[in-house]
Amino acid sequence: MMYTEVMRQNKDFQLCYHRGMSLGTYFVVIYARKNHLPVNRLGITTGKKVGNAVCRSRARRLIRQAWRENELAAPVGLDIVIVARSPLPDMKSTQLSDYLRTKAIPALHRIYAGDYVSEKKREKRGSK
């Protein structure tokens, strides 16, 4: 991965979860937050609900490959955590790559520019 480092610290994951913006779909949930660094940091999470070790490893491989294919289109300077959901190991690798290219990367650009409103915050605004 050319402009991406691997996120390893639990503190960084927690900051993304609690202070970052989220984008959820049927297959993955993406959390993103500005990191003010000249690189992106990518973290991948696969819980036990995804399946056994083989399924979790396949999910991680699918996410890494889809990110490699679309990395150059993403804005630089974000912490990104991609959380796999249980249907992910059953999908084709091109489906996730297409999703990142058409939906997630444009949303990451909006997050980087400060124009993105997550689904949780959108619900809160509607109830007031």
32-48 per-position pLDDT tens digit: 999 989 999 999 999 99
pTM of the model: 0.87
**Mean per-residue pLDDT for 29-34?**
94
Task: In whole angstroms, give the CA distance from residue 29 to residue 78.
Answer: 16
Q: If we measure between CA atoms, which residue out of 10, 98, 91 comes closest to residue 50?
A: 91
- The three-state secondary structure class of 110 is helix
The position carrying tokens 């940091």 is 41
Task: In whole angstroms, give the CA distance from residue 100 to residue 40.
Answer: 15
Sign of the C-alpha dihedral, residues 31, 53, 67, 37? positive
83, exposed or middle or buried, with CB in 10 Å at 0-12, 13-18, 19+? buried
pLDDT > 90: percent of the chain: 72
pLDDT at 36: 87
DSSP-derived secondary structure letter, 3: S
How far is the first Cα of the chain from the last one, in angstroms, to the nearest whole number? Answer: 43
The enclosing H or E element of 25 equals none
60-112 per-position pLDDT tens digit: 999 999 999 999 999 999 999 999 999 999 999 899 999 999 999 999 998 88
Between β-strands 21-24 and 40-45, what pairing exists: parallel, antiparallel or unpaired? unpaired
